Amino acid sequence: MRWFTDTEEGLASGVEVIEAVPSSLARMLEAREIAAALVSSVELFRRSGFIHAPGCAVIADGAVESVRVFSRVPVEKIRNVALDTSSLTSVALTKIVLSECYGLTPRYVPCAPDLARMLEVADAALLIGDLGYRDYGPDLYTIDLGTEWKLLTGLPFVYACWVGYPDRMDTELVRQLQAAKEWGTRNLVRIADGEYERLEETRSRARHYLTDVMRYTLGEREESALALFGEKVRSHGLV
């Protein structure tokens, strides 16, 4: 999104950038208050009529390092899981992985994203984003959901994509989103260096995450992975 706010071409595009949590963006998108939103990929399957912008997404091919389940008991003994529900995609992925990779059907409890409190009420906890990326020491069992998905399917995982209705996310807006993605990928180090203090991270870890872990181009393998995720969320009754 920095292209829209930090470049002359982006500023001249006439596109207004609105920042909000994914759940709020999804509501605005459904109400047609906004033309497109970068939201959890599961939104594509929760509502009919949405399309996604080709070529642009937030992806990891294997370990994602920021979408993880932390457990105080061995994985096979997990009976309940506290969920950070700020990402419905990660919640769905947790349920798919624990079911298909470990044969588990634990009880799920929505919780505020605070690991200590989550582990007071459950055996394990899902954390995402900045909190999921932190190092909590060697005493917890850790499941990286990106790693598990890759072992299960052989494919990368699409965590978020640009979603909208076909009549609002037109050809010109898609072109602008693709231009923003290309500019962003060329400026990842600059973006990391401007964000790491706000995220309470080191410069090296911020650079590693944005440049080594995450991917941003939605190609054929990623489209296949997205379609397979859609099949699995439906077969598991998650949408």
List the chain pLDDT tens, one digit each, 239 residues.
778 888 888 788 888 889 887 778 888 998 999 999 999 999 999 888 899 999 999 999 999 999 999 999 999 999 999 998 788 899 999 999 999 999 999 999 999 999 999 999 999 999 998 899 998 989 999 999 999 999 999 999 999 999 999 999 999 999 999 999 999 999 988 888 887 777 778 889 889 998 999 999 999 999 999 999 999 999 999 98
Domains 2-60+156-187+217-233 and 67-153 in one fold: yes
pLDDT value for 98: 98
pLDDT value for 147: 98
Q: In what order do the strands lie in the sheet with 141-144?
A: 107-111, 80-84, 124-128, 67-71, 141-144
pLDDT value for 213: 94
pLDDT value for 239: 85
pLDDT value for 175: 94
pLDDT value for 10: 78
Q: pTM value? A: 0.92
What is the dihedral angle through the alpha carbons of 17, 23, 29, 33, rounded to the nearest 10 degrees?
Answer: -60
Please state the CATH superfamily assignment of the domain spanning residues 2-60+156-187+217-233 in this structure.
Periplasmic binding protein-like II (3.40.190.10)
Does residue 111 contact residue 119 with C-beta atoms inside 8 Å?
A: no
pLDDT value for 13: 87
pLDDT value for 62: 97
pLDDT value for 24: 83
Choices 3.40.190.10, 3.60.21.10, 3.30.70.1350, 3.40.50.2300: CATH for 67-153: 3.40.190.10
* Bridge partners, 68 (sequence order): 127, 144
Residue type, 170: D
pLDDT value for 25: 87
Does residue 236 contact residue 99 with C-beta atoms inside 8 Å?
A: yes
Going from N- to C-terminal start, the domains of the chain cover 2-60+156-187+217-233, 67-153
**What letters, b where the CB count within 10 A reaches 16 and e where it falls short, cover 110-126?**
ebebebeebbeebbbbb
